[in-house]
Amino acid sequence: MILVTGANGQLGRCFRQLAEKYPEWTFFAEGSDTLDITDETAVEAYFSGHKPGWVVNCAAYTAVDKAESEAEKAALINVTGVQHLARACARHGALLIHFSSDYVYHGNQGTAFSETDPVSPAGVYARTKLAGEKAALEILPGTMIIRTSWVYAREGHNFVNTMLRLGRERGHVRVVADQIGTPTYAPDLATAVLEIIGQVENGIKKPEELAGTWNYSSEGVASWYDFAHAIFETAGVQAVAEPIESSEYPTPAKRPPFSVLNKSRIRKQFGLHIPHWRDSLKVCLLPESHT
């Protein structure tokens, strides 16, 4: 049985949608309304009653700017909640897959970050995500931590849908061009995780081979401006993206100036095919051309 927490978020919804492709597995998808991971008693009761073999934790506090004024709430979800899940997994013998963020690599090294590169989180959100990673691995060393970046999906609050709305409303959008990273299509990430679970379930990989920190994003590199331009072009929205510097768009939380992720480890270890971000954007915005 696979328990997906944070099931009402954009990544959690992707796991729910993909579940039908895996009829041999039982999925339980729980949002905060049915399983509050910040309530340790509720978590323990859930594990005792359902006995999941896998936990895929999509629950997270992701309001990056709001976190600066809601540090306790961010830490409660991103650290304390993760501790509760890790302890329950350790007690009940479940395997834990937990998602983290490119924000932990706040640096200017100019080459793609590998999992062994130094971390230097800036801001509450980034610090809580890193603290959540450490907490999970300390409690349950076999935890699989997947750091990802710029996640979007067809539904939900994300950069793609914001740009589509603003582009149609205004016809002209100013977008930061000096922050570099890679968009990640949530269904691609969910598919990769289920493929990895399948390799363990089928005996191709051992559970201990999942342990530690891994990077996953789409292939390729982009600025937010590049991404916005591609969104308008792909969706056929008659709008102009104007490149600006980060200093022209101040935010409460600092964004990583460069957070491209090196995916060679996860690609080689599990034989994954990782699509280019432009190809995945087409799948997202033009689904009829890929049926």
**For residues 77 and 88, what is the distance between their CA atoms, to the nearest angstrom?**
16
- Ramachandran region, residue 222 (left: φ > 0; alpha: ψ -120 to 50; beta: rest): beta
- Cα separation of 162 and 158, whole Å? 6
**Longest pairwise C-alpha distance within the chain:** 55
Q: Look up residue 25 and give its two tokens.
A: 């597995």
Task: Retrieve residue 243's tokens.
Answer: 């490149």
The catalytic residue among 103, 105, 125, 152 is: 125
**Token code pair at residue 101:** 């963020």
- State whether residue 122 is helix, strand or coil: coil
Work out whether strand 144-148 and strand 95-101 pair parallel, antiparallel, or are unpaired.
Answer: parallel
Both tokens of residue 77?
A: 């979800």
What is the CB neighbour count within 10 angstroms for residue 290? 10
d(CA 188, CA 98): 16
Query: Which amino acid is it at 148?
Result: T
Place of tokens 């696979």: 2
Question: Using CB atoms within 10 A of its CB, is residue 217 exposed (0-12), middle (13-18) or buried (19+)?
Answer: buried
Task: Note if 125 is an active site residue.
Answer: yes
The alpha carbon dihedral of 57, 60, 62, 67 has a sign of negative
Would you name the residues annotated as active-site residues? 125
